[in-house]
Amino acid sequence: MISKFVRVTAVVLGLSLIALAQATNPSSANSAASTPPNAPSAAASSAAAVPTGTKIGTINIEQAIFASNEGQRDFQELSKKFEPKQNELKGLADEIDALKKQLNAQQDKLNDEAREKLVKQIEGKQKSFDRASQDAQEDFQNQQGEIGNKILTKMAPVITKYVTDNGYGLLIDTSQPWPRGPVIVSGPSMDITQHIVEAYNTISGVAPPKDTGAQAKPTSTSGTAGTKPAAKTPPATTPPKQ
């Protein structure tokens, strides 16, 4: 599943570039009034010139967000927040499994009425599990997207400044593998993801988390375009098999 914050990458970065152009071109003051209110205002002071270089670079925006100190911290906190719900779902899944084992073990001993009652009990708990699992997954992904969007908005001026300062004229996001994304294959020498992570860590002032093992990962499809962190399923226990 494509993370929601990845879908707005082009919009945020595009607004950053517009803000930079307006900051260095007085004649654009009138058009600045029509800029959407959510455009990152910090972008206007992040560089002294509009990117006019000729170099082509790639960046895995999704990885940059999750690899940053702020991203690791916030997504660890999100995973911890959902631990009670995950445990609750696991308990319900175990209960359903126990009832199914009971049904299988007592098939020949139960009369029709008792068997039907047990089957309905299992079906009812299964429906409750499926509904709760779906709700938890959607809630997790929504909050994951909100965190990603928040970090991306603050990271956009950092990316724009790096591109401007280092002579890039084109920067392509490799978060989504081809054919979802535009890049079929790219070499590591073109990738500026780690440079952006280091620059953003310096600006954000967030210290590295002590425990990175609990870091939540984006729930998107992995591919070969660019380097990407391994995906992790949101904290919703896998529904027990019928």
Q: Is the pLDDT of residue 27 over 50?
A: no
Per-residue pLDDT tens for 50-75? 667 889 999 999 999 999 999 999 99
Check residue 181 and give its pLDDT. Answer: 86
Q: Which comes out higher in pLDDT, residue 230 or 101?
A: 101
209 pLDDT tier (thresholds 50, 70, 90): confident
Buried b (16+ CB within 10 A) or exposed e, 63-72: bbbbbbbbbb
Query: Within its chain, how far is the Cα of 65 from the centroid?
Result: 8
CA distance 52 to 67: 28
Closest CA to 218 of 37, 27, 66: 66
CA distance 84 to 32: 47
Q: Report helix, strand or coil for 234.
A: coil
Q: Is the pLDDT of residue 11 over 70?
A: no
Q: Which comes out higher in pLDDT, residue 220 or 205?
A: 205
pTM of the complete model: 0.68
CA distance 173 to 179: 13
What is the rounded average pLDDT of the residues 118-123?
95
Query: Within its chain, how far is the Cα of 47 from the centroid?
Result: 27
All residues at 6 or more sequence positions from 182 whose CB lies less than 8 Å from its CB, including other chains: 172
What is the rounded average pLDDT of the residues 98-124?
92
Q: Which comes out higher in pLDDT, residue 65 or 3?
A: 65
Amino acid making up residue 131: R
Q: Which comes out higher in pLDDT, residue 235 or 98?
A: 98
Q: Is the pLDDT of residue 144 over 50?
A: yes
Q: Is the pLDDT of residue 170 over 50?
A: yes
Domains in the chain: boundaries: 4-204
